Structure 1
Amino acid sequence: MIDAIKTISSAISAVKDLTSTSETSASQSVLGTQGTGTSQSFASVMSSMASDMVTNLKSSEVASIQGIRGQANTREVIDAVMNAEQSLQTAIAIRDKVVTAYLEIARMPI
């Protein structure tokens, strides 16, 4: 499962490389980051979200293994698993929105 998420992360990185400067300035104005000095494109935001999700899933796995061994508190394990579950649900929701948007574009008459 983590390999599939890494694949998504690498695909997002590839999209980031394809982003032109005009798209970056448009996303900056939409995100409201143009005047703050931090310029983040949509692809970089999605890439950081994907890497955070992978980190959450890995820490959840580590906490679960430590809980099985008796090295971690039950509360720590539950918190890690709940964070991982929330990250996974967010990734699934984003994937569903992307697929829906693609299908909408595919149905548009040319």
Structure 2
Amino acid sequence: MTYVIAQPCVDLKDKACVDECPVDCIYEGPRKMYINPDECVDCGACEPVCPVEAIFYEDALPAEWAGYGNADREVFALAGVSGGGSAAGVMTADHPVVEEEPVKTS
């Protein structure tokens, strides 16, 4: 199990979670932040600092955002990035579940 960043993060990307993560497992996509499940140590430090309450333990992910659990896993296979989010820069593409979301404007 791991933590997942869900739909409320799309087009907001506050990044407070990045500062709290002790293992640097949070990566930036064009529209959303992603947690690498292979690097996450399940400490939960990111969850309480998220201002839009987008971070959930995988088992507690609301059913309406279930696809975001797969997105956080699959985006790393698609992008081929690992080794720490701070050095990775912004990924070139989001997962399709994020790309399908309507763009939020302010």
TM-score after normalising by structure 2 = 0.25
Larger radius of gyration: 1
Structure in which a larger fraction of residues adopt helix: 1
TM (norm. structure 1) is 0.24
| Structure with greater contact order relative to length (CA < 8 Å, sep ≥ 6) | 2
